[in-house]
Amino acid sequence: MKDWTRLDSPKVTLAIVVIVYAVFLHLQLSKSNYDFSAFVNAGDFFVNPAIAPDNLRVTRNSYGYDGQFYYRLALTPFTSDRSDLGITLDVPAYRQQRIVYPLLVRGLSLGQPALIPISLLIINVLALCAIAWLGSKYAQISLLHATWGLAFALYPGFLLTLSCDTVEIVEICFLLGSVVCLRQNRQFLAIRCQHIV
């Protein structure tokens, strides 16, 4: 029982999450020789490989997936052009509603195109770590063991989101942050977190 009490810490939950996702990422990235742009899932229906940045892997005869649009927004977040740098946004107004993730990526990469693929991944991993921490805090506020926070951070759908460079992990991070703030009677912070999403 004493050992179980010792594990009642957000640090333990965070450590478990880091290990699980590190193993997952190692297995996924080893398939592409650690080419981080493989997670962007760019397809040549929306990305012209002749014009796109050299460090972006583009799959031929493919529509690709949503990560290619967030990659583009990380390159040019405040653009009004539907096509730029060889990448076309499918529905610009919809994609630009989800600007927080690309802005965080742009900040981390310092706007350097070569760093954007790894920055897309790092931001999602950091958001997963925050979800683990916030989930543990929420569990403790609810008088549960901190490891119940794993239920948030190890949601199976995050494996797809992580391996496709999409925004859902960051959105859930802010949403969970808002819930935790509400439970702690920090309404102003809760509202701020909710507006970011």
Mean pLDDT value of segment 143-171: 94
Nearest residue to 182 (alpha-carbon basis) of 169, 171, 170, 191: 191
Q: Which band of pLDDT confidence, cut at 50, 70 and 90, is reported for residue 181?
A: confident
Span 48-72, pLDDT tens digits: 999 999 889 999 999 999 999 999 9
Residues in the chain: 197
Mean pLDDT computed over every residue of the chain: 90
Domain boundaries, position 170: 2-196
Q: Average pLDDT, stretch 20-47?
A: 95
pTM: 0.90
Looking at residue 93, its amino acid is A
For residue 81, what pLDDT is reported? 86
Identify the band that residue 193 occupies on the pLDDT scale cut at 50, 70 and 90: low
Residue 2: its pLDDT value, please? 54
Please report the pLDDT score of residue 4 as a whole number. 60
Domain count, the chain: 1
Report pLDDT for 104. 96
> For the residues 37-55, what does the mean pLDDT come to?
93
User: Comparing 11 with 79, which gets the higher pLDDT?
Assistant: 11
Q: Taking residues 117-141, what's their average pLDDT?
A: 96
Task: Specify the pLDDT at position 7.
Answer: 77
**Cβ contacts of residue 43 below 8 Å, gap of 6+?**
58, 59, 61, 62, 63, 64, 65, 68
| Parallel, antiparallel or unpaired: strands 42-43 and 87-88 | unpaired
Structure token pair of residue 60: 């031929």
Cα–chain-centroid distance for residue 10?
A: 20
Average pLDDT value for residue range 33-46: 94
